[in-house]
């Protein structure tokens, strides 16, 4: 795998990392989103190969065996998420900087793999209560899955200190401006 730059945004579900990443992609032509693979059910409005590469568990496990993943993790009781190596090659072949929107453990694995060629940003919610409120507002979770996500978020918040950049998402316009500056500084160096 050749070497280019990568930008990693990690956070617990509901912290706003996807909103920040979408904003950056709209405002910086040097960036290209890395589409993750997953085994979870496709949600209404999601497009295969744009939002995720939706794979069966059998196909995902076969690709693990083939060492096709840069990183992967089993989350939320049997659902797998991961980054295909071919996705990174595809983006670098376009001359772009790869942008990841991944969970905390996956982000740390990617950071470790790419070292100084990676900028890893932890998006922090103002509080667990605000994060839970945001998840409820999305209306994509059952009470059971919402509580699982909140429980996982509490554990993921402990990883904050392992990231070189922490971005507090209390006020979205402020967080967006700070994210733009972080990424522009990283790309230009």
pLDDT, tens digit, 9 for 90 and up, residues 59-82? 999 999 999 999 998 886 789 999
Question: What ranges in the chain are assigned the alpha helix state H?
Answer: 17-27, 57-65, 85-93, 104-114, 128-138, 143-157, 172-188
Length of the chain counted residue by residue: 189
Domains of the chain: 6-188 (3.40.50.300)
pLDDT band at 3 (very low <50, low <70, confident <90, very high): confident
Report pTM: 0.84
Show the CA angle centred on residue 135, arms to residues 23 and 182, nearest 5°.
Answer: 30
Q: Which of 183, 187, 151, 153 is nearest to 165 (CA)?
A: 183
What pLDDT is stored for residue 168 in this prediction?
94
d(CA 96, CA 92): 5
pLDDT at 1: 52
Residue 52 is predicted with a pLDDT of 93
């Amino acid at each position: 795998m050749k070497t280019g730059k990568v930008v990693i945004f990690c956070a617990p579900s509901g912290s706003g990392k996807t909103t920040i990443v979408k904003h950056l992609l709209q405002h910086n032509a040097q960036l290209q989103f890395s589409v993750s693979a997953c085994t979870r059910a496709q949600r209404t409005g999601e497009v295969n190969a744009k939002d995720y590469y939706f794979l069966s568990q059998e196909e995902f496990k076969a690709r693990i065996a083939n060492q096709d993943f840069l990183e992967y993790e089993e989350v939320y009781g049997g659902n797998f998420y991961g980054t295909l190596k071919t996705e990174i090659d595809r983006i670098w072949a376009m001359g772009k900087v790869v942008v990841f929107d991944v969970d905390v453990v996956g982000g740390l694995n990617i950071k470790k793999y790419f070292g100084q060629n990676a900028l890893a940003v932890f998006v922090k919610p103002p509080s667990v209560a605000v994060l839970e409120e945001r998840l409820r507002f999305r209306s994509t979770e059952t009470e059971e899955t919402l509580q699982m996500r909140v429980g996982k978020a509490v554990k993921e918040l402990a990883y904050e200190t392992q990231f070189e950049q922490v971005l507090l998402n209390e006020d979205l316009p402020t967080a967006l401006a700070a994210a733009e500056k972080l990424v522009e500084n990283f790309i230009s160096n």
